[in-house]
Structure 1
Amino acid sequence: MGLTVSDIVHLPVMNTSKVKTGMELLKEKKVEWVSVIETPVENFVRKNEFVLSTGVGCEKDSTIFENFVKDIIKSGATVLAIATGRFIFDIPDRVLQLARNEELIIVDIPWEVRFADILQSVMRKITDERQTERKQAERVRQQLIDCVLLDKGLEEIAHTLYKNIKIPLAITDSHRAIRTSQHFNKTILHAYEGEGNKLQNASATDIQFSEHPLYYHINEYEFEKDAFFQLHILNNHKTQGFLLFQPKEKKQLSWFVMNVLEHALTACALFFVKENAIELTEIRLKDNFVLNLAKQETKIDDQLFSKANLLGYDLSKSYICMVGDIRYKEAIETNENDNPKSSSLQSMNYYIQKEITYAGKLFERITMTTFDEDQVIIYLETGTAPYIETVNQFLDTIERRLSELLSGMELSWGIGTDKNNNLAFYEGYQEAKTSLDIGIQQHGSGQRTFFNDTKINRLLMNISKESEISEIVKETIQPLIDYDKKRQTDLIHTFIVYNQYKGNVSQTARELNLHRQSLLHRLRNIESLTGLLLVESDDFFLLELSIRLWMLQKL
């Protein structure tokens, strides 16, 4: 593809012209434009131009003419066609030798041949060639788009691209994972995918051989002295992946090739958009299925089995339910490639889901996950090992990896029991949710609470539903509630800590960061407001039971 010097010198208008240098280069050298120039050249000539000149101003001094030719060579022009017979009669041998050394093609044009005729003929040829290239590029564009529309995938896109440009290439996703390649250096691909730090930006090299705008977006890299190029696959200004290509010579990057690469970027972007849309749809379907499994009192039947199988789930296995509460201490800081800086719950859920999937594969257990506002719901296949040990190892793995990725995040967990009945998923979620609420209420965030360890709390919750008991609880601690609200104190919390340290004043004061006398003053206030003596076992038990029941009623 592309117009060569041979195409031009064989035009009828050039029949009387003579090629003085570079005969062997006629079929190799490309021509992209034609111009007429006289001295000085300055920056009026571009690369790959067919330059016409009369040599006016150079007729009296061959050195001036030689410098003129040097400037043409420096500009990167392909051909210098000199009209001889008025100003330049014979092209000096040293100028011809200079042109041979620098691979500049010099053509001798008789004076009587009009430049206007040459310009017209060459421009028509360039226009015809460009039109042919555009039609060919358009055919390739349609082939690439069809690969997406007909669900042929990235492999077919890469195959179609290579078939038309004959340049080794590869396509990656946004994480640099190689999705497909065509004749690309495998060593470079391995380094690019797994050892990107070994890649180096190539030295500032002029890779522009035409004015195609895509040239300005090429990144050049080197790996062990092998060079290759990279283009970003973009959608809505976000990188979806990368297109890598490795021409043998930079001059392969013609206008046609760049046009085809541009169409390939569009096709790849469409593919990734379509793939992401399918993936998001599948994720939503799975999320909704697991959420309904947890929150709706639905029995497991053949219809539910079939729906689960379509989503890749196996409900015949035994599962344990875990509910995690997500808390953020500070803004999330993430690295540039994998974790864009964001405090949105949705983006954090992505990384949590990713680590849950990783942990499931690590322990060879099926996982089903969904999110409900600021909570994550997980069903983990239990297997034959004791489920408590499995759960702890599973959660350790998740939390350890998340702590490396997302600073400032804290997870609290409630864990149900291993159940095997028609309402196992619903009941398992209820148990895990109850365990989580009790754990946070009693111990704060960052803890794991198993349902089997909440028996006393569940017993108290049932007792607290009795109206007579509720009245006793209210009568006992209402004075403390009112006092705390009015004076902005926390006598109830003071008693809880005091009870936690089994009445040890020194330890309680240290924990509350209070002076010993200040703590004693608070304890006397508690006794005064409730009419109970903390040194009396029955009074102490009544106050402790009332506070625990009151706190459980808030769940």
Structure 2
Amino acid sequence: MGISVADVLQLPVMEKAKIVTGKSILSDQSVEWISVVETPVENFIRSNELVLSTGIGCVDDPIGLESYVKDVLQSGASALAFATGRYIYNVPDRIAQLAEQNGLIILEVPWEVRFGDIMQEVLSEISKEKEVEQRQAEGIRQELINCVLNGKGLQEITTILYENTKIPIAISDHNKLIRANHHFNLHLIDILNGKTEGEYQLVTPYPFSDHPLYHYIEKYEIGEDSCYQLTILSNYKKQGYLLFKPEDDNELTWVVLNILEHALTACALYFVKENAIEMTEIRLKDNFLLDLAKTEVTIDKQLLSKAQLLGYDLNRPYICIVGDIRFKKRIDDHIGSTDHPVRSSSMHSRNYYIQKEVTHAGDVLQRRTMTTFEDGEVIVYLEADEHPYMETTNQFLDLVERRLNELLAGIVISWGISFRKDEVYTFHKSYDEAVTALNIGRHQNEDGERTFFSDTRMNRLLMSLSHDKGIENIVEDTLAKLIDYDQKRQTDLIHTFIVYNKYNSNVSQSSRALNLHRQSLLHRLRNIEHLTGLSLLDADDLFLLELSVRLWMLKKVKE
């Protein structure tokens, strides 16, 4: 931002000025400010500043004058103008040679030209130039915003930036995946992202500007190369990165930094818009699949068309898989149960990983998948084929669980599976059956089991028996004291019986499975006989107790 030294010399007040050094670079040197600075210089001069001096501190002191000029040179000033005629009559050749060699423009202005007049006219020109540049920056800002509002993408944003700055630009998302690029060396980005071997380090940029954006710029040195990065934020959430690679820091003028600042706003707006569209699409898909699973929806042309718009094909047969998501607690958590349902605070991130692995497993098996989530439950429709559906399902779940166990430590998912083909309300019926299988399996097996609805015939038969009032009374009379004892004493005699019955009344195997001493198990078995009035050695009594326990467990499933 500013005018050139050549522009300054065109002002009426500078008509009598004489160019001592730097005639060839007058148009290249920018003037962003003007000041009067005498010795000592210290840190009073900014980069790209036109310095006016009377030389009052260097009268008859050529060494002091040379030291003064060196200080001005080191400050990065655009030009140095001496008022000649009182303290300095002309610039010594030695100093002129020093300035010429180091690219410093030196001017001589007659003593009668007042510094105040020079400053007034120069500042007026700088102000006019600033207004022009601000209007240009505002125009670019509006163009960038309109680019997003009119449905254009990040590539169009990089094109606008490059056309107005001539600096290579790239934009990546928060995962550092490049989404747009205009003449940026992708090899450098691959090194930064660890995709290609190479050393780099984050360094503090040289203070090339006092623009507010400068403090947010990160500089990376990659071998002998370097590039800059700005983080794209929205509501303090990281959305992505804007990378740019000027040939020289002098390219990062106030105008360029203003444009980059506007670009950050446009990029943030784009990502917010993209996220909103993505979330809307996810909600539409979730609602569609939940309706498909939980209501008796007729598969008509309208529904098929709606499904197609969402990327689904309902004309194919699907296996319904319902999972109950839980996470094992660490031993040092000291919280009662060994597992807990998914907490809502981290539900989104966990569902993201599960969705990702479901999609990946479907791609590996070349099967279409449809997935949704509700209250710690995952519902998956997996495309079936000529293979037995159990085989397809097990292959699919093996892939999902293998990768999830690596990504989410302690995750446990119990599955219920059903497959109905070529029937009315297929999706709803298969979901109901999968949920039934899940509930039966979850109360009979360890967490993480897979239960196929077709394998639950005995349990479903028992369910139908459980509706009989007379059978319900028999179950209650048989187990009432046992249930009451477990609740009051915080014991688990019913579970003890289930394990004992599972191992065909083998005391040694049962005690190992329950992690009990043999005598402790025998003591529990005597309690069971005492409370129920049944003998575990009598086949009829054993059958009655087993039937009662299974019917009671199924009743808990339904509740």
Q: CA offset at residue 361 of structure 1?
A: 2.2
1:411-490 alignment, distance < 5 Å: 411-490=413-492
Distance 1:272 1:324, change over 3 A: same
Alpha-carbon distance in 2 for matches of 1:522, 1:307:
59
Q: Give CA deviations for 1:121-163 in whole Å, capped at 9, x if unaligned.
A: 1101110111110000011111111111111222222212211
* Partner AA of 1:23 in structure 2: K
1:26-425 alignment, distance < 5 Å: 26-192=26-192, 195=195, 198=198, 200-206=200-206, 208-330=207-329, 343-425=345-427
Q: CA offset at residue 366 of structure 1?
A: 1.3
Distance 1:330 1:128, change over 3 A: farther
Three-state SS of the structure 1 residue aligned to 2:56 is coil
TM superposition score normalised by structure 1: 0.95
* Partner AA of 2:9 in structure 1: V
Alpha-carbon distance in 2 for matches of 1:193, 1:419:
47
Q: CA offset at residue 508 of structure 1?
A: 2.1
Alpha-carbon distance in 2 for matches of 1:450, 1:259:
62
Unpaired runs of 5+ residues, structure 2, are 331-342
Of 92-101 and 246-255, the range deviating more from structure 2:
92-101
Alpha-carbon distance in 1 for matches of 2:57, 2:424:
100
1:11-30 alignment, distance < 5 Å: 11-30=11-30
Alpha-carbon distance in 2 for matches of 1:237, 1:196:
30
Does the Cα contact within 8 Å between 1:328 and 1:408 map onto a contact in 2? Answer: yes
Match for residue 532 of structure 1 among 513, 534, 541: 534
Alpha-carbon distance in 2 for matches of 1:445, 1:125:
78
Alpha-carbon distance in 2 for matches of 1:454, 1:197:
55
* Partner AA of 1:106 in structure 2: I
Q: CA offset at residue 192 of structure 1?
A: 4.7
Does the Cα contact within 8 Å between 2:371 and 2:381 map onto a contact in 1? Answer: yes
Of 476-485 and 92-101, the range deviating more from structure 2:
92-101
- Give the structure 1 partner of residue 552 of structure 2: 550
Does the Cα contact within 8 Å between 1:137 and 1:260 map onto a contact in 2? Answer: yes
Q: CA offset at residue 34 of structure 1?
A: 0.7
Indicate the percent of aligned positions where both proteins have the same amino acid: 58
* Partner AA of 1:400 in structure 2: R
Q: Give CA deviations for 1:441-470 in whole Å, capped at 9, x if unaligned.
A: 001311111112111111111111111111
Distance 1:502 1:486, change over 3 A: same
Match for residue 502 of structure 2 among 485, 488, 500: 500
Q: Give CA deviations for 1:172-207 in whole Å, capped at 9, x if unaligned.
A: 11111111111222333444556177462254440x
Alpha-carbon distance in 1 for matches of 2:440, 2:221:
58
Q: CA offset at residue 23 of structure 1?
A: 1.3
* Partner AA of 1:459 in structure 2: L
Three-state SS of the structure 1 residue aligned to 2:21 is coil
Q: Give CA deviations for 1:290-322 in whole Å, capped at 9, x if unaligned.
A: 000000011211121111112111110111000
Alpha-carbon distance in 1 for matches of 2:192, 2:308:
37
Does the Cα contact within 8 Å between 1:233 and 1:239 map onto a contact in 2? Answer: yes
Three-state SS of the structure 2 residue aligned to 1:40 is coil
Alpha-carbon distance in 2 for matches of 1:113, 1:165:
38
Q: CA offset at residue 533 of structure 1?
A: 0.7
Does the Cα contact within 8 Å between 2:205 and 2:218 map onto a contact in 1? Answer: no
Distance 1:152 1:304, change over 3 A: same
Q: CA offset at residue 419 of structure 1?
A: 2.0
Alpha-carbon distance in 2 for matches of 1:330, 1:8:
74
Alpha-carbon distance in 2 for matches of 1:301, 1:109:
90
Of 433-442 and 504-513, the range deviating more from structure 2:
504-513
Q: Give CA deviations for 1:36-63 in whole Å, capped at 9, x if unaligned.
A: 1111111111111111111112113211
Alpha-carbon distance in 2 for matches of 1:362, 1:519:
48
Alpha-carbon distance in 1 for matches of 2:35, 2:397:
73
* Partner AA of 1:195 in structure 2: K
Three-state SS of the structure 2 residue aligned to 1:20 is strand
Alpha-carbon distance in 2 for matches of 1:83, 1:221:
44
Q: CA offset at residue 359 of structure 1?
A: 2.0
Unpaired runs of 5+ residues, structure 1, are 332-340
Does the Cα contact within 8 Å between 1:84 and 1:111 map onto a contact in 2? Answer: yes
Alpha-carbon distance in 2 for matches of 1:346, 1:225:
42
Distance 1:210 1:365, change over 3 A: same
Does the Cα contact within 8 Å between 2:90 and 2:108 map onto a contact in 1? Answer: no
Alpha-carbon distance in 2 for matches of 1:548, 1:388:
26
Of 210-219 and 289-298, the range deviating more from structure 2:
210-219
TM superposition score normalised by structure 2: 0.94
Alpha-carbon distance in 2 for matches of 1:42, 1:253:
25
Of 467-476 and 215-224, the range deviating more from structure 2:
215-224
Distance 1:155 1:248, change over 3 A: same
Alpha-carbon distance in 2 for matches of 1:35, 1:2:
14
Q: CA offset at residue 10 of structure 1?
A: 2.0
Alpha-carbon distance in 2 for matches of 1:93, 1:464:
113
Does the Cα contact within 8 Å between 1:199 and 1:221 map onto a contact in 2? Answer: no
Q: CA offset at residue 387 of structure 1?
A: 2.0
Distance 1:265 1:10, change over 3 A: same
* Partner AA of 2:238 in structure 1: T
RMSD over equivalenced CA pairs, Å: 1.8
Does the Cα contact within 8 Å between 2:203 and 2:218 map onto a contact in 1? Answer: no
Three-state SS of the structure 1 residue aligned to 2:423 is coil
* Partner AA of 1:540 in structure 2: L
* Partner AA of 1:115 in structure 2: F
Q: CA offset at residue 501 of structure 1?
A: 2.1
Distance 1:485 1:330, change over 3 A: closer
Alpha-carbon distance in 1 for matches of 2:307, 2:194:
35
Does the Cα contact within 8 Å between 2:357 and 2:400 map onto a contact in 1? Answer: yes
